[in-house]
Amino acid sequence: MIIQSPMIQPAAGQNGTRLPDDGFPYQCSVTMLRRGRVTAIPWNWHVCLCVILVEKGHLLLRTTQNFVELNEGEAVYISPNMLYLLRLPDMAEECTFYLQLFDMQLLSGQYGSIFEQKYMMPIIRRRDLTYHCIRPDSDSHIQMLVALRHGIGLAEMEPFGFEFGIREYLSRFWAYFYKDIEDSGLLRDADDFAENPGSPRGYKNLPDIERIKLMLEFVHTNYREKITVQQIADSAGVSMRECSRCFQRNIGLSPVVYLNRYRLRISARELIQTTDPIAVIGERNGFSDPSYYTRMFRELVGCTPKEYRGLAMMKTP
């Protein structure tokens, strides 16, 4: 079954989104971003493997280092524990995309297998390979996209034995993916790199990334409470000054601005999904002053909460 996912966010108390523990380490969800409703997915990361396929429209992927625009029919692999944000590009009206999450053992079988050691770990352990775009510009990329679509189709229909089929198509995807990465030269000196993760080629300032994850997790878990910058800093064991610098370095916002934007995005979802009074929604999400809530909402979204709710109702099919 494909999960209808209007908003993806880390589960409370977990260091990144995890797969359900039901014996089949795979999950497929579909998300629609739409101007005037949900336009962005908060900063997030996964402890498993992730592939996103754009079904309709255009999608902007932002990491702590880059912006990448994905067009309809394109996909992107996102490595475990990479911090990223998804949103509509400025001129786009809507986008629908599928997100497939799966554990390495779904494809590799037992720990230490040849599939794990030869084909998976050389890619997963490279900290400089944080994401990889898959566009229909070569035969191998087309084969990858076809395999992803077959897997999504099985997840949607769930025919008898669909679990075998999903594993087959993801294995086929990974075989082409590995060959594409190998041909591009990104696997050269993999062993040397794994032993020297501080290499200039590596993921920028890895300890910094781990600190921002801890602080984001604290915000995502406690955003309804009256939390301070000091508490956010304490969650990662850093000073308030370093907390602010870490937020600016990695996501370009101060801790207070990020907290308020996160609260506003959650409140925007509740304006659509509930009939609760606007003042109640604002207070529930950390804005005790209705006037301040309205002003902050207008600055971020471009309209008042009341206008936003009205526009969303008009756009609902």
Instruction: Give the pairing type, strands 49-57 and 59-63.
Output: unpaired
% the chain with pLDDT above 90: 67
Which CATH code is given to the segment(s) 220-315? Answer: 1.10.10.60
Mean pLDDT of the chain: 86
b vs e for 10-49, b when ≥16 Cβ sit within 10 Å of the residue's Cβ?
Answer: beeeeebbbbeeeeebbbbbbbbbbebbbbbbbbbbbebb
User: Is the pLDDT reported for residue 12 higher than 80?
Assistant: no
- Model pLDDT for residues 96-135, shown as the tens digit of each residue: 999 999 999 999 988 889 999 999 999 998 878 889 999 9
Q: What is the pLDDT of residues 163-176, one digit of tens each?
A: 999 999 999 999 99
Mean pLDDT of 186-196: 54
Question: pLDDT band for position 201 (50/70/90)?
Answer: very low
* Structure confidence at residue 16 as a pLDDT band (50, 70, 90): low
pLDDT in tens, 28-71: 999 999 887 778 888 989 889 999 999 999 999 999 888 999 99
What are the domain boundaries of the chain?
Answer: 3-195, 220-315
Is residue 188 predicted with pLDDT exceeding 80? no
Q: What is the pLDDT of residue 17?
A: 58
Residue 175 burial class via C-beta count within 10 angstroms: exposed 0-12, middle 13-18, buried 19 and up: middle
How many CB atoms sit inside 10 A of residue 102's CB? 23
For 3-195, CATH number out of 2.130.10.10, 3.40.190.10, 3.30.200.20, 2.60.120.280 equals: 2.60.120.280
Whole-angstrom Cα distance, residue 184 to residue 132?
Answer: 11
Beta-carbon contacts of 304 under 8 Å, excluding residues fewer than 6 positions away, are 294, 297, 298
